Structure 1
Amino acid sequence: MTEVVPRLAEVEVDVQGLVEAHMETLLGVRFLASEYGTGAVHGGRIDSLGLDENGSPVIVEYKRGTDAGVINQGLFHLSWLMDHRAEFEHLVRRRLGVTAASQVLWSGPRLICIAGDFSRYDAHAVREHWRSIDLVRYRFFGSDLLGLETVASVSGGVPVSRRARRQSVAQAASDVQGAAMVELTTAVDEVLLGLGEGVNRVERKTYRAYQRLRNFACMCPPQRTKLLVYLKANPEDVDLVPGFTRDMAGLGHHGTGDLEVQLRTPRDVERAQDLFRAGYAAA
């Protein structure tokens, strides 16, 4: 046996180059631009710009080691981004097309900070902030392995109590279906949010996404007799059951994920627990 010793990058640009080349795989973010200039007035350069799976603008900032300044620097750039929405949408249109540009979700811009490490003060600071921020620790292992670990993750906005969240979910469901579907939607929402630390929920018109760094589940508005949840799990690893699970690889649907789970009763939610955990682990 040989010990694989973790190490930091020789220079910051090594981390940036690797993440930018594989941004969708690593972060669930489509790459837009590197070292993006913010003009003479603002006087800065954004390390990486991207668009996540739900259409949220993403700024990624990197530091080779531990540097608390990466958070403030990222927030400074995020403020610029919110004041230059048309410029960002033009960039999206040029790189990803008109459809992607028309679906940019400005309610939840994100900052992802990737560094060698963060202090406990950094983690506490972002949890007190109202922006969507992910602190991600990286390590190289040997010559060809990279590890990413989420240190802290906040979804931004004003914290919502469990009661208020239930009312919000119930209201969305009651417009479509009766009390049974309201209860089912609420139950699934609480299960998905409770799978682990740092689970964020993103609201879109056609689905509700649950994410860590990347989406691991998407829940569609309830239909008349069932609720559809799409998971980021490999359907080939699941014993598919007709009427309960379905392989959606290559098939179009709202949200992300190749495994469709059809829920009709609270019993189905219990049956789906292991599948929910598999999707969470895959993200």
Structure 2
Amino acid sequence: MVGLKLFNLESGVTEVVPRLAEVEADVQNLVEAHMEVMLGVTFLASEYVIGCCDGGRIDSLGLDENGAPVVVEYKRGTDAGVINQGLYYMAWLTAHKDAFRSLVRDRLGAMAASQILWSAPRLICVAGDFTRYDAHAVREHRRSIDLVRYRYYGSDHIGLETVASVTGSPAASWRVRPRAAGGPRVRRRDEGMAELAAAVDETLIGLGEGVTRVQRKQYAAYQRLRNFACVCPPQQTKLLVYLKADPKAVDLVAGFTRDVTGLGHHGTGDLELQLSTARDLERARDLFRISYAAA
């Protein structure tokens, strides 16, 4: 984003010069007020006081679209300590699950508290900038960390750019498993759907840098900062994929695409794809890219 040039075209061509916030609290207050839209995270608490010998306050706590706990830390400019500070708070959080579970229960209800994804807690650092050493450091940690650079443009615009995004632990995808000697023969139909699922996984991961996969029992979520695709386990004859693409902007095709706005389903997204063949995957690629770009 620091290399991005933004121009106002209202009267000629005037460059809109990017700037940092006056104070860190300006960024924090803005993100907390619009956290779901900006980060795909449901806001839970601000300046959360942790109870330990060293003390401290977590800037923001939240729960992402997949039910994973999220710690958000902010810095006005560049601060080499933001990652370590956030990791310290993540360690406290995972060691005090009851405290976080109680917070979720109070804010979102018992159902949300019972479905917290403790296997994939996340740290999101929002700062004016990061160094190349920061981007390297997050890849050395076995944690899910997103480094997000912000810039204000004039008085009406703010930009967010993901500098680095790492998933803490590899998530399994649905792959073809070889038949054990003497074991039951895998049906060709099941094998074909598993191969299709593996091809979809490879396609979604390959859409661009910073794509991470989070595995839940009911679906696998593919995300940048926010989910852009959710893939359910293969069925006998089809694979269901849910995208963040707007169904009203898509020419729906019976048996291939469906508007599921307001309908219950696993994962996130209002556009359902039903994939049965490699040809269906080819047809879906443009929709994958549209959803990726919107995330």
TM-score range, shorter chain: over 0.9
1:8 corresponds to 2:20: yes
- Tell me the secondary structure at the aligned position of residue 82 of structure 1: helix
Does residue 1:151 correspond to 2:163, yes or no?
yes
Counterpart of 1:170 in structure 2 is 176
Matching residue's letter, 2:175: V
Tell me if 1:100 matches 2:112: yes
Native 8 Å contact 1:244 1:261 kept in 2: yes
- The unaligned stretches of length 5 or more in structure 1 are none
The answer as to whether partners of 2:175 and 2:195 remain within 8 angstroms in 1 is no
- Give, in whole Å, the separation in 1 of the partners of 2:260 and 2:17: 39
Identify the match of residue 117 of structure 1 among 129, 133, 137.
129
Residue 243 of structure 1 is matched in structure 2 by 255
Matched with 1:28 is 40
Residue identity over aligned pairs, in percent, reads 73
Alpha-carbon deviations, 1:177-199, whole Å to 9, x = none?
Answer: 61111111111011011111111
**Cα separation, 2, equivalents of 1:103 and 1:42:** 30
AA matched with 1:233? A
Q: Counterparts of 2:81 and 2:103 in 1: how far apart (Å)? A: 27
What TM-score, normalized by structure 1, do the two folds share? 0.94
Q: Report the equivalent of 1:213.
A: 225
Once the two structures are superposed, the pairs formed by residues 120-199 of structure 1 within 5 Å of their partners are: 120-157=132-169, 169-171=175-177, 178-199=190-211
Aligned equivalent of 1:259, options 254, 271, 293:
271
Name the larger-Rg structure.
2
CA distance in structure 2 between the partners assigned to 1:236 and 1:186 by the alignment: 29
TM-score, normalised with respect to structure 2:
0.90
Runs of 4+ in 1 over 4 A off after TM superposition: none
SS of corresponding position for 1:3:
strand
> In the alignment, is the contact (CA less than 8 A) between 1:42 and 1:80 conserved in 2?
no
Asked if 1:41 corresponds to 2:53, the answer is: yes
Q: Which residue of 2 aligns with 1:202?
A: 214
1:40, 1:237 → 2: CA distance? 51
Q: Report the number of matched residues.
A: 275
Deviation at residue 249 of structure 1 after TM alignment: 1.3
- Could you list the per-position Cα deviations for residues 189-234 of structure 1 after superposition, in whole angstroms to 9, with x for gaps in the alignment? 1101111111111111111100110000000111221100000111
Q: Does 1:78 align with 2:84?
A: no
Give the distance between the partners of 2:158 and 2:270, measured in 1 at CA: 25
- Secondary structure (helix, strand or coil) at the match of 1:272 reads helix
Structure 2: where are the runs of 5+ without partners? 1-11, 178-185
Question: How far apart are residue 40 of structure 1 and its match?
Answer: 4.6
For the pair 1:269 / 2:252, whether they are aligned, the reply is no
Q: How far apart are 1:100 and its partner, in Å?
A: 0.4
Mapped to 2, the partners of 1:60 and 1:47 lie a distance apart of: 6
Supply the distance in 2 between the matched residues of 1:42 and 1:213 (Cα, whole angstroms).
31
**1:116 and 1:70, CA in 2 relative to 1: closer, same or farther beyond 3 A?**
same
Larger fraction in helix: 1
RMSD, aligned CA: 1.6
Query: Are 1:88 and 2:97 matched, yes or no?
Result: no
Shift of the alpha carbon at 1:43? Answer: 0.9
Q: Does the CA-based 8 Å contact 1:8-1:64 persist in structure 2?
A: yes
Helix, strand or coil at the partner of 1:66? coil
Query: Distance in 2 between the 1:221 and 1:92 partners?
Result: 28
SS of the counterpart of 1:152? strand
- Does the residue aligned with 1:169 lie in a helix, a strand or coil? coil
Structure 1 counterpart of 2:259, one-letter code = D
Shift of 1:169: 2.8
- Cα distance in structure 1, aligned partners of 2:73 and 2:53: 20
The separation in 1 between residues aligned to 2:142 and 2:60, in whole angstroms, is: 22
Once residues 39 and 129 of structure 1 are traced to their aligned partners in structure 2, the CA distance between those partners, rounded to angstroms, is: 25
Contact kept, 8 Å, 2:229 with 2:268, in 1: the verdict is yes
